[in-house]
Amino acid sequence: MSWLYARALIVLTVVLVLVLATLFAALPPV
Amino acid sequence: MRKTLRAILWIGVYLALALGPLILLLVMPRPPQREFWREVAVALGFAGLSLMGLQFIPTARLGFLADVFPMDTTYYFHHWTSVAATVFIVAHPLILIANNRYVLILFDLANAPWRARAGITAGVAVIGLTVLSVWRKEFKLTYEPWRLLHNLLAIGATGLALWHIFGVRYYLASPVQRVLWTALPAVWGGLLGYVKLYKPWHMLQHPYRIKEIRKERGDCWTLAIEPVGHAGLTFEAGQFAWLTIGKSPFVIREHPFSFTSSAERAGSLEFTVKELGDFTSRLKEFEPGTPVYVDGPYGEFQIGRSINVRDEHEAPGYVFLAGGIGSAPVMGILRTLADRGDERRLYLFYGNYDWEQVTFREEIEALRRRLNLEVIHVLEKPAPDWEGERGYITAEVLDRHLPDDRQALVYFICGPIPMIHPVRSALRQLGIPRGRIYEERYEMA
């Protein structure tokens, strides 16, 4: 059971890193 | 429920530590923006480093985390987040080169600036670390030298990567970023220091010694130890501890083993180990009186907080599904329940190769007289006159022996990975809710 959560958290981490990296590169500095 | 809340809290802390650096880069004032792909590469580099740093948090050795997350799951998580971190770290220079091939000049190590040399060496160390971990068995590396190399490469790569980002100093010119990238390694190093220095010191103050080592069926050995000059630790049935035998606790020589003795008998502790690898095969060579250092207890594969609170699952009975030496924690649980005079229904489905190799066979028989316990031996290669179950623990075998109210019972699966998956599927096939199935895998690094 906990393995499913672990897998989901790994996928979530990778997706969030990619989203944040894209936003960082695309958006101008504040 | 409290455990679920704690798990959610720690997952939140993990996400904050893993993604915090990227979020701060995004929302804080920063220097002028450069090309899109260059910035993507930089962001992936920072993300890779923060993920790599988090791997220093020794989840399995910190009680407040080990109570919430099963050790095998945290190792699985460590393994795959490290692979993801490696991909991000390798992508960092590759994207930079694809974006601007003049970056390749920095790979001329003879003439490159030190910040580039540090970054490239860190990258090579990370690749080495990951390759040696994913394919350790293919490289024929035994556990102990691998673990030493693993630790040295991890510390070296992280130190060099920090040198790299402080040396490049583009984003780290900002005081906020400098504070962040000083505080994060301080947290990683602090936790590592707690486990590698404080804990061994504490263990040294509470030593044990070997009382007896006795042979068991199925190439197993039981190690009995007793405390020297202190009362000894208390644990819950089903938990495990890390043992260092005959060496200083400061030396990297610990191994995790399940308690097989009763949690109700304070003082002396027992662990049963199957001869599998180099260390487990050497265990029988230790003499009585050899010092042993115990770090524990750990693990959430457990029943009962104390003798007064019967158990946290409120179950009318338990079903144990053990494969081979997966019976070790189950024996600890059965002995504890017998000492507590527990009268609930218990079932033990015990898979082994043949009758001679059934570890604890005689003692399980004796426990049947003290407990309301039904034992179903399932043998892979039984003698021709064997009248019991044959093959593996399948849905059909379970269906033949489980009572009609099977959905109300709590299930503990413990054994090697090839056994866990089919047994879990078999239980699901019989309609057992996921929340009533607990697992412990006997295979990690």
Beta-sheet pairing, B410-415 with B255-258: unpaired
Minimal Cα–Cα distance from B370 to chain A, Å?
32
Q: What is the ipTM of this complex?
A: 0.97
Q: Is B354 helix (H, G, I), strand (E, B) or coil?
A: coil
CB contact under 8 A, B73 and A3: yes
Read off the pLDDT of each residue in B199-210 and give the average, rounded to a whole number: 94
Read out DSSP for B158-201? HHHHHHHHHHH-SSTTSHHHHHHHHHHHHHHHHHHHIIIIIHHH
Whole-angstrom distance, CA of residue B208 vs CA of residue B285: 17
pLDDT score of B73: 83
Q: How many residues does chain A have?
A: 30
Tell me which residues of chain B, numbers 374 to 413, contact chain A at a CB-CB cutoff of 8 Å: none
**Is the model more confident about B6 or about B396?**
B396
Peptide bond before B297: cis, by omega within 30 degrees of 0? yes
Position A9 scores a pLDDT of 96
* pLDDT tens-digit series, residues B65-82: 877 887 778 888 999 999
Among A12, A21, A26, select the one facing B47 at the smallest CB separation: A21
Computed over every residue of chain B, the mean pLDDT equals: 90
**How much of chain B, in percent, has pLDDT values that exceed 70?**
94
Tell me if chain B has a CB within 8 Å of the CB of A10: yes
| The pLDDT of residue B304 is above 60 | no
Measure the CA–CA gap between B231 and B208, rounded to whole angstroms: 10
**Range with the lowest mean pLDDT among B50-54, B280-284, B400-404?**
B280-284
With bands split at pLDDT 50, 70 and 90, how would you rate the model's confidence at B312?
A: low
Per residue in B35-63, pLDDT (tens digit) is 999 999 999 999 999 999 999 887 667 87
Which residues numbered 54-83 in B keep a CB inside 8 Å of some CB on A? 69-70, 73-74, 76-77, 80-81
What confidence score (pLDDT) does residue B306 get? 35
A19/B contact by beta carbon, under 8 A: no
In this structure, the strands spanning B220-227 and B240-245 are unpaired
Q: Do residue B26 and residue A27 have CB atoms under 8 angstroms apart? A: yes
Domain boundaries, chain A: 1-30
Q: Is A20 on the interface with B (CB under 8 A)?
A: yes
